[in-house]
Structure formats: C-alpha cells, structure tokens
Structure 1
C-alpha cells in the first residue's frame, strides 16, 4: 500500500451534475483539501493553475466535453478605466472599503441573506444558514480577509474605516501575486450604485496599493450571461492550455 506524506495534496473527482451556467450540460470538478502548514503556498500554486477556493477546498472544472470555464485575472498595472467605470466609482465615492480579519457577524449575514433572497433564490447557496455563512468565512487555512463597505465617516481619514450601514462585503484571499475575490455580496436595493462592479474596481485599487499585479475573478464562461461582466475588465489574462494569455479587448 502506497503511503503519501501528509502535506502532499490528494486530488478527487466529483460525479457529474447539472451545469449551473450552460443549460443542458453537465459539470465535473477536480478538488483537493487546503489544510496544513503549506495551505497558503498550495493555494497560490493551484490558483495559478486555474483552481478556486471554497472554504478549505480548492477546485477546478474537469468536464469531459466542455472547456467553457476560463480562469480570468485582471492586469492591475495596465487596467484601463472606461467612462462607465468612472461613473460607477463616482456613484460610490461616499463608500470606503475596510479590510479586516475574516470574522463573520450577524450584520454581514443579514446582508448576505437579503442578497441571496433577491438575486439567487434558486441557486445552490439559497438555503445557507447563519452557521453555513460562518463556515464560509472562517473555514480557511490561507490568508483570507473580509472587506466591508460602509459610508465614509468624519474620521475615515484617520481610522481608514467607514461608519453606518453595511452596503457590501467581499471575502478575499491575499495571494503572493494578487487578490482573489472568493465571494462578494451587497445590498440588492442599491441598484444605481453597481456595487458588484465597484467592489472589483476597489480591489484593483487595493492590489495596486499593495504592489500586487493581479486581481483574480474566478471563471469567465463564454455564453453565460451571469459571467459576461468579467470580460469588461481589460486588459486581462485568461488561462488556456499553453498558459495565461493576455486579452486586450
């Protein structure tokens, strides 16, 4: 019987299930556990290879007859802010994103619950309880942070924090070469703000401040309306069999 060192990742393949992005197709995933002292390093390596993190699991699509899911990362230093992006940034100039430890709160869950009920009531996360949410945030063995978006206060310039109502939250991993947006949610009634787009713009700004060259957005799926927004952030790199390839437009 072959024995493997505890730090050696073991990979597993899921059974086929309906694809959540393209009707009539099935998906399979390959996954491994992100645990132990090398979890952070392994997360970096796997993210470079197209994996995503969910709690202490790293996964990527392994569909037999489909390659529609493409890993995307924004080129921070060369990012071009369009007129539309400038409008979004202006609409949210009153918000500040405070990066803090990944600790769940009742306020976050209330916003998360409202977001799911409004935008994803038929999705796979629709039944998540407060304990499920806490696990999503806390079950991480890598460098994970929460970014809370609130209105600027009179002491924001000193504290770096906002105050008042929570408008949006991003669960984000800090990688060696970028920020990886694991999951984000926001106040669904604030439709005029385009908060999803604003959070990505803010991550680009934060990555630039930290000297990190990329913001990882997960998978772009050609033909899926849900994922079309990711193609707007240019230039970006998309992972193909030969490696990361730059896309200008």
Structure 2
C-alpha cells in the first residue's frame, strides 16, 4: 500500500497559497491607503492603528503563502508505503530538510496514535537492538532516535486512516498498539488561532475609544 498526494490535493494547497497571496495584496493596499491618510493628518491615530494592523496582516499572509508554497513542493516527492515486511516514509521536516525511515514490523515495539485535535499523525517506536535493520534518516544522516512521527501531509484524511489501520493489521501481535478504534480526534477542527488575533486587534481599537467616551461622560 502506497500513499502519495493526489493531483487534486496539490491543487487544494495551491488554492490556499493563492488565497493568502490575495489577502496579502489586499492588506498591503489597505495599509497604503491608511498610511496616505495618516500623512494627510486625517484621523491620525486611527489611521496609524489601521496601517500597523494591515501591515502586520500582510506580512502574516505572505508567511502563510510561503508555507503553503513549500507544502506544494513537498507534496510531490513525499510518500508513505507499506510492504510485506516494513513501513517506509519520506516527509518534510523543518528548514527545508527531509526525514525518512524504513522500519521493519518485527523490530517495532509500539505504535501510538496521535491525540492532537485535527492533526492526523501516529508514532512508531522501535527497539534498542544494536543489530537492527530499521533506520531513520534526516536528509542522508542516520539518526540514533527510536521514535518516528508519521504525519498526514496532503493526503486525504480517510486515506491516511486506512493506511494507519492497515499498519496496525500488518504488525505482529507482540507490537503494542495505543490508540482508538475510529480516530475521531483527527476529524475535529483545529483551534483557530486567527480568531484570537482578530479579537486582540478589535479590543486594542475599541478599549481606548471606550475609555475616551467614559472620560467625556
């Protein structure tokens, strides 16, 4: 069984990247208008606030667009594979580096299902035997660690679940499996940090206004 990102999955990532780029363009235009009005001494403090907010949002959108662009590039060369004897993975790590592994079923100690909401992932733990054939690589350097985190990167949620369940079926009975039957936590929505950022911006704008009104009253 082999999983690679489908063409439609890559197109979805490209759409996300394009939306962030459009958002960055809109925020830059809004920041430019606010900056111009500020220079004309029109609602100076309000324009200063909106210039700072839109400038920050444009930088944030550009960073997210860059991240989505990297995911598009990475999705084309990453894969998950199960054969009759082992699990093989190639996936991006950080700073443009890639991590990969081939872990044989008979050298696994346990499989631990990820419990973070909305993040499909699981961990494979290998034994400490010095003569083990399994290996974990970071780029081309072999790592001494025994734990490898397998993440869903551009794969459909159901396909990743089926891959995980297939792995649990393939491993020998001595391998300890820690997880749930249906992996419902993977289907939950992630916490939306953007909502808190927007709320903070709104409060930073409204609180001084309310204090000013209270002083007048």
TM-score, normalised via structure 1 length = 0.23
**Using CA pairs below 8 Å that are at least 6 residues apart, which structure has the higher relative contact order?**
1
The structure where helix makes up a greater share of residues is: 2
Question: Normalising to structure 2: TM-score of the pair?
Answer: 0.26
Rg bigger for which structure? Answer: 2
